[in-house]
Amino acid sequence: METNNNTAPFSCVYTPNVPELLAKLNCSLAITTYQAGKLIFISPKEEEFLIQLPRTFLKPMGIAYNSKKGKLGIACKDTVELFQNSQALADYYPNSPKKYDALFMPRATLYSGGIDVHDLRFGNQDEIYGVNTLFSCLVKFDSNHSFTPIWQPKFISKLVSEDRCHLNGMVLENGKPKYVTCFSQTDTKQGWRENITKTGALINVDTNEIICDDLAMPHSPMLIDNNIFLLQSATGELLEIDPKTGKKTSIINLQGFVRGMSQIGDYLFIGLSKLRKNSSTFAHLEIADKAKDAGIAIVHLPTKSFCGEIKYRTTVDEIYDIEVIPDFLRPNIVNNQMPISKLGITTPNQTFWGIAPKAKL
């Protein structure tokens, strides 16, 4: 394992193949850790080392990324933060010109309120879809309302802020929500907490039919070759599910609390979290004794094998989401608390870096 200073913030160790793999795949990774309040870009350097760039956000969770349009969205505690990549601004970034090959600048903040948004996705027409966990529904976000409900499971009787089934994961097909995951089919306030290891469900949004109803805390569903891949957090498993029959196939057990997943080519990048020992929800899980590390596991899909990992030694204990950022080996992101965020100006045809005003004496 390659290692950094084990006392420094965000210190991590990683198998030697990870930087080379990211470089050959021509990508970086973005992860959110709501526990540490950061979005972190992880990039390769010279195929031998990893570089991290952490930025502060208030309880960041779901990441949405549209690589064709260079749009990035982050679901935060009570807002959805939207960013746009500008290569031109990156080239002349005042702090480090020519250092970054992407620069995501803040372009809008949508005020959702504290609704516990989990997964976030962009639709084909720039719609912003989210899983509103507190209200047990799927929503669209815009500048007119906190959210617009567009779908609820058939077993949810009304729109109310009670987190009745812990709806969390969402898959889009042809730009619209197609499948979702939840912890149970309960219709009472936080009813999902009663039996969280056997009642998780995968649901077809179009038909409102249950595909599977015996999952163990499902998270992070995604479509690969017309089948659904998802994580069973309570068992540490990556599952493949046939959406027509509900047949489940266990691909690999990563021996940890798995949540957050993204794909590029033949590889899946899967988040691992430590479990809080004082958590009434998670501490009693069978996987709890094994969930001692937070980081990223890499799975090679054709061989269904573990092929590398990143483990955090400091700062990061929990990961919610992972997103592959293809075609960029050194991306940067500027949050709206950074003074430099006010100086990057874009028009449809030009970009400008403003000059910071001098402090008054």
Q: Which of 132, 174, 127, 128 is nearest to 153 (CA)?
A: 132
Predicted local distance difference test score (pLDDT) of residue 213: 95
Predicted local distance difference test score (pLDDT) of residue 5: 58
* 3-state secondary structure at position 132: strand
Q: Return phi, psi of residue 66, to 5°.
A: -115, 100
Q: Which of 248, 188, 243 is nearest to 214 (CA)?
A: 248
C-alpha 259 chain-centroid distance:
9
Domain boundaries, the chain: 2-343
Predicted local distance difference test score (pLDDT) of residue 195: 86
* 3-state secondary structure at position 19: helix
- In terms of C-beta density within 10 A (0-12 exposed, 13-18 middle, 19 or more buried), how is residue 228 classed? buried
Question: What is the CATH superfamily name and number for domain 2-343?
Answer: TolB, C-terminal domain (2.120.10.30)
Predicted local distance difference test score (pLDDT) of residue 279: 64
β-partners of residue 352 are: 345
Report d(CA 227, CA 244) in Å as an integer.
9
Predicted local distance difference test score (pLDDT) of residue 277: 64
Predicted local distance difference test score (pLDDT) of residue 358: 56
CA distances from 182 to 102, 261, 358 (A): 35, 16, 52
Low-confidence ranges of the chain (pLDDT < 70): 1-6, 277-283, 356-361
Q: Return phi, psi of residue 339, to 5°.
A: -55, -30
Task: Show Cβ contacts of residue 156 under 8 Å, excluding neighbours closer than 6 positions.
Answer: 136, 137, 164, 165, 187
* 3-state secondary structure at position 258: strand
DSSP state of 74: E
Report d(CA 182, CA 190) in Å as an integer.
12
Task: Show Cβ contacts of residue 344 under 8 Å, excluding neighbours closer than 6 positions.
Answer: 86, 89, 103, 105, 334, 351, 352, 353, 354
Predicted local distance difference test score (pLDDT) of residue 319: 97
CB 153 within 8 A of CB 164: no
C-alpha 14 chain-centroid distance:
20
Predicted local distance difference test score (pLDDT) of residue 361: 38
Q: What is the CA radius of gyration of the chain?
A: 20
CA distances from 159 to 108, 133, 153, 154 (A): 27, 11, 11, 12
Predicted local distance difference test score (pLDDT) of residue 275: 86
First to last CA, the chain: 52
pTM of the full structure: 0.94
Ramachandran class of 343: left when φ > 0, alpha when ψ lies in -120 to 50, beta otherwise: alpha
Predicted local distance difference test score (pLDDT) of residue 286: 77
Report d(CA 182, CA 201) in Å as an integer.
5
Predicted local distance difference test score (pLDDT) of residue 355: 79
Tokens of 47: 């195929």
Tokens of 201: 């469900």
